[in-house]
Structure 1
Amino acid sequence: MSTTLTRAAVVVSAAAAALAGAVLPATAAPTCSTAWGSLTESAVEDGGGTLDDARSGRHACYDRLVLDLDGVDASDVSYDVRYVREVIEDGSGRVVPLRGAADLQVLVHTPAYDGGGAATYAPRNAAEALDVRGYSTFRQVAWAKSFEGESRFGVGVRARLPFRVQVLDGPGDGSRLVVDVAHTW
């Protein structure tokens, strides 16, 4: 009799597992909103502080660029993010060559140097400021320098895709400028 109960329990467990697998897929595709648009996003605020770091990340629906701004409240971050024909290096006027079908310029009205002129952000290789190999949307992130209180990045993008800009508090007494570029429309 115990063998019959054990077999029945196995059959019931297998049926429940099969039903759960049919009802709930193991991996669900993400639902990505692309209602952001591709027109210029900007904010003119007090600015100040310094650009201290840049980093990137891959997400299910977008690629992300994050600029860490030290000594700048989120409400004071001043920026201009837009697609351009070409990104121009601050100070020199040289064109920054970028891989991809579209050039996204990220300008923050915050210097990458302190009051004494010492660099607060200086990547080893300006042309490849961040490693974005394997990203869905980003093809290249280049450092286009900091000049007269402004810092500029060029982002080579696979195509002119929607983007959004957010300003977040922290870490510490700073804030973060976040630029997300969607994988699709």
Structure 2
Amino acid sequence: MNTRLKFSAVLFTALTAVMATVSTASATPDAKPLLTNVRVGAHATYDRIVLDFTGPAPDGTAGDVVPELIADGSGKHVDLAGTYFYQVRTWTAAAHDDNGNATYTGSRKFETPSLSNVQAFAITGDFDGQLTVGLGYRRATWQSVTVLTNPTRVVIDIGV
């Protein structure tokens, strides 16, 4: 095979790979993280809440200590066990698909008796491309929010 044919074959292979990548990427332009599960776990120095997602990582995540939990949209107070409250907001995430079907079918509000400090969890918002959750806990302490991939999850740690 001459050099010109080899170059053409390599170029064709490269272009085919690029086009396949573009085609795959454009096939799911609206892909967003969808909540599928909520897990809790007690550790020696912290309580952990894990939000499991399908799809890509959220575009953004922020956690804030708040004086009370407020339901997104309605503005109503969310009654949750705890003296302190931590709100975690994720952008481009949801607990429902594009047809409005729940992707997370577990309880949207529950107590966490197996944890040392965190007393309760609630989904406080799921619309306009934001998923918001709240935690109630007993003692003032540190908090952290971490986004992990492969699989996609948001990890919330509250010191004990």
TM over 0.5: yes
- Segments of 4+ moved more than 3 angstroms: none
Trace 1:103-114 onto structure 2 (pairs within 5 A): 103-109=85-91, 110-114=93-97
Question: Larger C-alpha radius of gyration, 1 or 2?
Answer: 1
- Secondary structure class of the residue paired with 1:95: coil
Distance in 2, matches of 1:136 and 1:115, equals: 37
Most deviating of 62-71 and 49-58: 49-58
Letter in 2 for 1:143: I
Q: Give the structure 2 partner of residue 14 of structure 1.
A: none
Q: Is it true that 1:101 corresponds to 2:70 in the alignment? A: no
Q: Percent of pairs identical after alignment?
A: 34
1:113-128 equivalences under 5 Å are 113-124=96-107, 126-128=108-110
Q: Does the CA-based 8 Å contact 1:77-1:167 persist in structure 2?
A: no
Gaps of 5+ in 1: 1-46
1:3-26 deviation per Cα after TM superposition (whole angstroms, max 9, x unaligned):
xxxxxxxxxxxxxxxxxxxxxxxx
Give the match for residue 89 of structure 1. Answer: 71
> What is the letter of the counterpart of residue 55 of structure 1?
R
Q: Where does 1:109-148 land on structure 2 (aligned, <5 Å)?
A: 109=91, 110-124=93-107, 126-128=108-110, 131-148=111-128
Counterpart-to-counterpart distance in 2, 1:159 and 1:117: 37
Aligned partner of 1:25 in structure 2 is none
Structure 2 SS opposite 1:146 = strand
The alignment covers a number of residue pairs equal to 129
More displaced 10-residue stretch of structure 1: 60-69 or 89-98: 89-98
The letter for the 2-side match of 1:169 is T
Contact 2:41–2:114 (CA under 8 A) maintained in structure 1: no
Q: 1:1-185 to 2 correspondence within 5 Å?
A: 48-73=32-57, 76-109=58-91, 110-124=93-107, 126-128=108-110, 131-171=111-151, 175-183=152-160
CA distance 1:167–1:112, change in 2 (3 Å)? same
Following the alignment from structure 1 to structure 2, what is the Cα–Cα distance between the partners of residues 107 and 63? Answer: 19
Q: Say whether the 8 Å CA contact 1:123–1:143 is kept in structure 2.
A: no
Aligned counterpart, 2:4: none
Question: What is the CA-CA distance between 1:77 and the residue it aligns to?
Answer: 4.1
Query: Cα offset for 1:86?
Result: 1.1
CA gap of 1:77–1:176, structure 2 versus 1, over 3 A, is: farther
Q: How far has the Cα of 1:140 moved from its partner?
A: 0.8
What displacement does 1:88 show? 1.1
Counterpart Cα distance in 2 of 1:66 and 1:77: 17
CA distance in 2, matches of 1:101, 1:165: 20
Equivalent pair of 2:62/2:145 in contact (CA under 8 Å): no
Counterpart of 2:97, as a letter, is D
Counterpart of 2:33, as a letter, is G
